[in-house]
Amino acid sequence: MRFDVLTLFPEMFSGYKTQSILNKAIDRELVEVHVHNMRDWTTDRHHKMDDRPFGGGPGMILMVEPVVNCVRDVQAMSDRPGQVILTTPQGERLRQPLCEELASTHQRFIVLCGRYEGFDQRVIDILKPMEISIGDYVLNGGEVASMVLIDSLVRLVPGVLGDEQSSWDDSFSRGNRILEYPQYTRPRSFEGHDVPEILLSGDHGAIEAWRKNQSLERTKQRRSDLLE
């Protein structure tokens, strides 16, 4: 799976690409992450990417010409066509079923990271990207949102996780659309808090039933909307 990230702040991804599961996936050539500075597609000596909005108002708007040219050139960098994604609070909410759909239908993504007051509307009209939101709140820019998107998709690439069952049983995932049950490890007792005896019984049928019940109870208490 390949990601091309288009940003005004490429240095934000330097540390992100070298850590944990993503770094291992890149080393094993299961995933590629290429970061492109959109300023490289500007035509003036100051590498200006933004301007004031027509009609007035606060903030600055990312200009259409360098963004569209950047996306078109990056699209041509690989034989695989890339699904263009724009991270925006106005987009479709990123949920696990959407992640699963994207991972199963696309092998390349071109992710646009917004800044300031967002993109000139003509970027959307011309490129027709999929607009995705990671939640009902506003960030300083789309870089963090793009990292969330990448993390959620990388986990679904075959071979990335040591145990493929992990992505199946996670909260919201294909094998478990509700919240996951509580987990325990050593020590058996800590400051008066003990591991439930059922988990030490060796009775796998009883343990499975306990876990299902715990998942349901936790979901009722915290996210009852998922049971609907």
Mean pLDDT per segment of 10 residues, for the chain of length 228 residues?
98 96 97 98 94 95 97 97 96 96 98 95 98 96 98 96 70 80 96 98 98 96 93
> Considering 131, 151, 169, 170, which one is annotated as catalytic?
170
Could you tell me the fold of the domain covering 2-154?
Answer: Alpha/beta knot (3.40.1280)
- Our answer to whether residue 194 is catalytic in this structure is no
Whole-number pLDDT of residue 66: 97
Could you tell me the fold of the domain covering 178-227?
Answer: Trp Operon Repressor; Chain A (1.10.1270)
Location of each CATH 3.40.1280.10 domain in the chain: 2-154
Whole-number pLDDT of residue 167: 62
Alpha helix segments (H runs only) across the chain: 20-27, 64-75, 96-105, 121-127, 143-154, 165-169, 204-222
Whole-number pLDDT of residue 24: 96
Query: Helix or strand or coil: residue 194?
Result: strand
> Considering 50, 65, 100, 117, which one is annotated as catalytic?
117
Q: 161 with 155: CB under 8 angstroms?
A: yes
pTM assigned to the model: 0.89
